Amino acid sequence: MSIQAVAAKAGVSVATVSRAFNFPDKVTRSTRELVERVARELDYVPNASARTLRTQRSRALGVVLPTLLNPTFAECLQGIARAAIAGGYAIIPVTTGYQLDEEERAVHLLLAGNVDGLILVVSNPATSAALARLRSTGTPYVLAYNRHPDHPCVTVDGEAAVADAVARLVLHGHRRIAMVSGTLAASDRAQQRYRGYRKGMADAGLKAPPLIEVPFVESAVDALAGVLQASSRPTALICSNDLLAIRSIRAAHLGGLRVPDDLSVIGFDGIALGEDLTPALTTIAQPNNDIGRHSVELLIQAMAGGTTLQADASLLLPYFFRDGESCAAARNTATD
């Protein structure tokens, strides 16, 4: 079903049909209605690839993310999806599994797929080869969750957020506060959050114990077992993401510690599920949906202007401390 068929049946030229669809005012009302009617009768749907080929715009956005198994990114993608549809764009998501070579492959794939722009969550903007190559192509893009002065980014101030959280814990009487993180090298977010932790501890005049680095989330429970049994075990844990926090709570439980009575746990991300857990997860909530939405909006805006997005378009969205039940005041301990 092509524009030709519609033109023929309506007794007008293809140009008129095209205009009736794309510039309704450039055509007489009567012809427009005629064309619309015929198109409907014929179930005509404009051919996207032909249009793309002709206009050099696909109205498709590529999305590169680590995984959908972390609800954080699923929530963000949902935000992206809604905003994209609202803006008349389709999205093509690709997951990388936190692997650098997959990042490159994804960007390559998407570029070959003629996307008009890209939203990506990379491991580390400063060192990402994929990002460097992407940049050189002149395709508009925006980073989500990442933060770097040379790139347009939409995220929250993870450093300040964690420093805040530490301050809150201190206010509640905690002194032995440890941080649990995934592999630091694997993401700039983890690094920022850890910086915030150290800053928070320093500000409170506390000595920061070594970072509890968990290579695979699955091994979190094991990694924590030892730490939580020590005589000078922490009374509070700040986790670099909610999934780690959930596993930390489990580790505490397995170790015979009650949360929050014996151990306070704070997460980071604000996944929706956290509110329904028992105990409800105390966490630093990011507006995951909005991060996605704003990324799309920035991108669409830039593309409309025919430009690429600059670093100074970056958005730092507010985070929220979501009070839950996994965090409480420290009990008085003589060992302090």
The conformation of residue 241, written as its DSSP 8-state character, comes to S
78 binds, among DNA, its own copies, none (CB under 5 to 8 A by kind): its own copies
Using an 8 Å Cβ cutoff, are 16 and 31 in contact? yes
Helix (H) or strand (E) holding 250: helix 242-254
Q: Which does 112 bind (CB under 5 to 8 A by kind): DNA, its own copies, none?
A: its own copies
Q: Which residue has the tokens 């055509």?
A: 27
- Binders of its own copies: how many residues, by CB under 8 A? 44
Query: Residue 4 or 333: which CB sits closer to DNA?
Result: 4
Residue of 5, 14, 87, 93 interacting with its own copies (CB under 8 A): 93
- Give whichever of 115 and 170 is closer to its own copies, judged by the CB atom: 115
Partner from its own copies, DNA, none binding residue 239, C-beta < 5-8 Å depending on class = none
Please identify, using beta-carbon distances, which residue of 25 and 218 lies nearer to DNA. Answer: 25
The nearest distance, CB 41 to DNA, in angstroms, is 15
303: left (phi over 0), alpha (psi -120 to 50) or beta: alpha
For the segment 13-42, give every residue that binds DNA (CB under 7 A): 13-16, 18-19, 21-22, 25-28, 30-31
> Which residues, 274 to 293, sit near its own copies by CB under 8 A?
276-278, 280
Q: Which of its own copies, DNA, none lies near 229, with the C-beta cut-off 5 to 8 A by kind? A: none
Identify which of 241, 236, 244, 285 has the alpha carbon closest to the alpha carbon of residue 265: 236
What is the pairing mode between strands 315-317 and 264-269? unpaired
C-alpha to C-alpha distance for 61 and 119, rounded to whole angstroms: 7
Nearer to DNA, 27 or 107 (CB): 27
In the bound complex, what is the minimum distance in angstroms from residue 108's beta carbon to its own copies?
Answer: 8
Other beta carbons less than 10 A from residue 58's beta carbon = 20
DSSP string computed for 8-69:
HHHTS-HHHHHHHHH-GGGS-HHHHHHHHHHHHHTT----HHHHHHHHS---EEEEEES-SS
The residues that bridge with 118 in the sheet, in sequence order, are 62, 141
Q: Which stretch binds its own copies (CB under 8 A): 18-26, 93-101, 150-158, 309-317?
A: 93-101
Distance of CA 232 to CAs 16, 140, 229, 267, Å?
80, 51, 8, 22
Q: Based on the shown chain and the rule CB under 8 A, indicate whether residue 111 belongs to the binding site for its own copies.
A: yes
Applying the rule CB under 8 A, the residues between 51 and 90 that interact with its own copies are 52-53, 58, 60, 67-69, 71, 74-75, 77-78, 81-82, 85, 90
List residues binding DNA (CB under 7 A).
2-4, 11-16, 18-19, 21-22, 25-28, 30-31, 44, 46-47, 50-51, 53-56
